[in-house]
Chain A
Amino acid sequence: MYQLAIRLLLVIVFIISPDIYSHDGINHSIKGKSKADDAAQCVEPTELMQKEHFVFLYHQRDKTVINGVRTKNHSFANCIDCHVSYDEVGEPIPINSEGQFCQTCHVQTAVNIDCFSCHASVPRGRKPEAHISLNYNHLEDQVSQEIEKLVSYVEGVK
């Protein structure tokens, strides 16, 4: 009887646990494939991320918007870039749509976030860190200014 109780308890724990904690690095429930599926770990230890991801995000958003800090680690754009899933044809699936990364847990825990009314739910447009080389324009501009000045100078002394 005692053994049966233990087993029953084990079975119950086993059934409940996937909802709360289990994470083996493979997202069995999420449709599509994300960069995170191949990555070894998150930006912080997984357990910390599960409990505190929003704390990181809330801190980061003030640091970025008010103080111009652009570190990548806790950047929202970066979470989305890594965690968004791509379907068979390589199209990104909005990360907050049904069954996707930022939605599944929240449904279970009745969390409602409005972030995606503003933030793009798939990577869209230029990457924040993509560097546009403008040295060329910059120089061209100055050279042409020099030419203008020079020409007017020469014309003046002639």
Chain B
Amino acid sequence: MSTDIKLTRRGFIVKSISVLSTVYFIPDLFAPAQAAKPLHEEVKSDTKWAMSIDVDKCASGCTACVDACVEENGLYGFDRPETDSQWIRKLTIKDIKTDKVKVVPMLCQHCENPPCCDVCPTGASFRRVDGIVMVNQHTCIGCRYCMMACPFKARSFVHENLTEQVTTAPRGKGCVESCNFCVNRIDHGIPTTACEEACMKEGHKAISFGDLSDPNSRVNKALKIKQNRRLRADLSLKQRVTYSNI
């Protein structure tokens, strides 16, 4: 290598990043402002919320996403792990052939063909047009059919009187509840869930959330980089939560 080449490897990276960053920063600074729905408008089906989880990036022993969910939605339990509500939980799975162990965050998979909604007798379990599967607690009668129907055990039932609910997440005895992609945040123009935010802050970046219709969304980027899979694809539920490296 001759000495008059001033562009070192380090210099090349730094300079490329500065150039790249202008290209990448500018659209992103403006994109959220355009994307956010005005408060008075109804949600539309051209928004498609989805999440991609990179299992290899998910650290065992880390509970940042779970803790963030508990705090965001006031899911304080009674120290009864069997019945306390869990909107997101961490599973440890082991490949029987290779003995390889992985940890997987499990939450409502937001199916496009949700079995919970099929079995709900009151229509309280429903899929909002933007793809969020949730419980309308005003019409939920607590029959728990949806909990039986869900192949992922993603739903919880509230067994006891609660007193410490947060304003943004009402919840109470006698109703089923589950992850709603932090619907209150999304509707107020915050395009990230508590779990994704926590995972980013922790530096793992295993969770990518976003709108499938927006080519620049984090979820679309994650889907592009790595092959994603749906769990139990044989059931054809078309989940909007997908996993890579599983």
Contact A71 B40 (CB under 8 A): yes
Please name all residues of chain B whose beta carbon is closer than 8 Å to the beta carbon of A63 when the two chains form the complex. Answer: 42
Contact B138 A65 (CB under 8 A): yes
Find residues 94-139 in chain A having any chain B CB closer than 8 Å to their own CB.
117-120, 123-129, 131-132, 134-135, 137-139
In the docked arrangement, what's the CA distance between A81 and B17, Å? 46
Please name all residues of chain B whose beta carbon is closer than 8 Å to the beta carbon of A146 when the two chains form the complex. Answer: 17, 20-21, 24
Output the least CB separation between A120 and chain B (Å): 5
Output the least CB separation between A76 and chain B (Å): 8
Output the least CB separation between B32 and chain A (Å): 7
Please name all residues of chain B whose beta carbon is closer than 8 Å to the beta carbon of A35 when the two chains form the complex. Answer: none
Chain A residue with the shortest CB-CB distance to B203: A144
Q: Mark A57-77, 1 if CB is under 8 A from B, else 0.
A: 000011101111111100001
Output the least CB separation between A62 and chain B (Å): 8
Total A-B Cβ pairs within 8 A: 126
Contact B13 A150 (CB under 8 A): yes
A68-B42, A77-B167, A141-B205 as given contacts; A134 in contact with B190, CB under 8 Å: yes
Contact A120 B166 (CB under 8 A): yes
Please name all residues of chain A whose beta carbon is closer than 8 Å to the beta carbon of B221 when the two chains form the complex. Answer: 142, 145
Which one of B13, B136, B162, B183 contacts A147 once the chains associate, using CB atoms below 8 Å? B13
Which one of A80, A117, A144 contacts B161 once the chains associate, using CB atoms below 8 Å? A117
**B244 at interface (Cβ–Cβ under 8 A)?**
no
Say which one of B105-113, B142-150, B168-176 lies at the interface with A.
Answer: B168-176
In the docked arrangement, what's the CA distance between A141 and B210, Å? 14
**B28 at interface (Cβ–Cβ under 8 A)?**
yes
Contact A120 B167 (CB under 8 A): yes
In the docked arrangement, what's the CA distance between A129 and B36, Å? 13
Please name all residues of chain A whose beta carbon is closer than 8 Å to the beta carbon of B200 when the two chains form the complex. Answer: 137, 140-141
Contact A135 B136 (CB under 8 A): no
Contact A124 B170 (CB under 8 A): no
In the docked arrangement, what's the CA distance between A134 and B189, Å? 11
Please name all residues of chain A whose beta carbon is closer than 8 Å to the beta carbon of B173 when the two chains form the complex. Answer: 117
Contact B168 A128 (CB under 8 A): yes
**B34 at interface (Cβ–Cβ under 8 A)?**
no
Contact B43 A134 (CB under 8 A): no
Contact-size category for A: 35 or more
Chain B residue with the shortest CB-CB distance to A127: B167
Please name all residues of chain A whose beta carbon is closer than 8 Å to the beta carbon of B40 when the two chains form the complex. Answer: 69-71
Please name all residues of chain A whose beta carbon is closer than 8 Å to the beta carbon of B167 when the two chains form the complex. Answer: 77, 80-81, 119-120, 123-128
Please name all residues of chain A whose beta carbon is closer than 8 Å to the beta carbon of B82 when the two chains form the complex. Answer: none
**B218 at interface (Cβ–Cβ under 8 A)?**
yes
In the docked arrangement, what's the CA distance between A141 and B205, Å? 8
In the docked arrangement, what's the CA distance between A128 and B183, Å? 11
Please name all residues of chain A whose beta carbon is closer than 8 Å to the beta carbon of B168 when the two chains form the complex. Answer: 77, 125-126, 128
**B98 at interface (Cβ–Cβ under 8 A)?**
no
Please name all residues of chain B whose beta carbon is closer than 8 Å to the beta carbon of A141 when the two chains form the complex. Answer: 200, 205, 218
Listed in ascending order, the chain B residues whose CB lies under 8 Å from chain A are 9, 12-13, 16-17, 20-21, 24-25, 28-29, 32, 37, 39-43, 72, 74, 126, 128, 130, 134, 136-138, 161-162, 164-173, 175, 183-185, 187-192, 197, 200-201, 205, 218, 221, 225
The 10 listed contacts between A and B (C-beta, < 8 Å) are: A62-B138, A63-B42, A68-B128, A117-B161, A118-B137, A128-B167, A128-B168, A131-B190, A146-B24, A147-B13
Q: Given contact pairs A62-B138, A71-B39, A134-B197, enumerate 7 new A-B contacts (beta carbons under 8 Å).
A: A69-B42, A70-B39, A118-B171, A132-B185, A140-B200, A141-B200, A150-B16
